[in-house]
Amino acid sequence: GESAMNRVNKVKEHIRQGQKSYGFMLTFPSATIIEIFGHLGFDHVMIDSEHGNFTPESAEEMIRAADVVGLTALVRVPDHEPSTIMRILDRGAMGIMAPHVNTRAEAEHVVQAVKYYPLGKRGLGAHRASTFDITMTRAEYVEWANRETLIMVQLEEVEALNNLDDILKVEHIDLYTFGPNDLSQSLGVPGQATHPKVVEAMNQASAKIRAAGKHVAGDWTMSANVPGLLISAASAFLKEAKASK
């Protein structure tokens, strides 16, 4: 089989080439949906284990399904604990989205948990991601993982926006994204993700991120939400079916 050494993180590769990646966020376990979307030509899947109902075991099955169809599997983790991040990366995720990153210290903490020495402090063992030490040495795996593993941080509170200049000083963060829903709460307009206050805050922060020479996720990735796609397609089908009776 193909060794993990030959695998590239499509999102990171596209950024290197100045291209956008097309992905989808999955909020419930379905290997079948991952296979279908992979065959359709999507680049990556974001497995949502923050709000979605994934166990580490079901997440691993999603990552395995993504591997089958050549999708880059990323996971939104529920917290920044090194043990949480290590377990999901050991299972073969090619990157993480870290929610609620509000300070430079938290951003550094995430990087330390994702990267191996000398870039970070991730614990090193044999696992699925390193092909159980079969197709490469530990040293080769460390080099590959440090290069190909993606880090995306979510700025979801006013505190994060206030600390943005400091957060942007942290190295090895590939993409910065927002959490419009949580930002709406933080800005006093809960549930109004498209409120002018929220939009303005995200626009200002995006400008600051770009000015620092860093990447705003929305400039480099387009992401569909699987429940949203199912709902829109199913409701359109139902409407048409009822109209043509």
Question: What residues act catalytically?
Answer: 51
Q: Between the CA atoms of 157, 229, 95 and 183, what dihedral angle is there, to the nearest 10 degrees?
A: 0
- Yes or no: say if 192 and 152 are a contact pair by the CB < 8 Å rule: no
Tokens of 81: 């604990």
Q: How far apart are alpha carbons 152 and 170 in whole angstroms?
A: 12
Q: Are 45 and 24 in contact (CB under 8 A)?
A: yes
Please give the single-letter amino acid code of residue 101.
V
Helix (H) or strand (E) holding 175: strand 175-178
Please name the residue that has the structure tokens 């990171």.
Answer: 12
Judged by DSSP in three states, 226 sits in helix
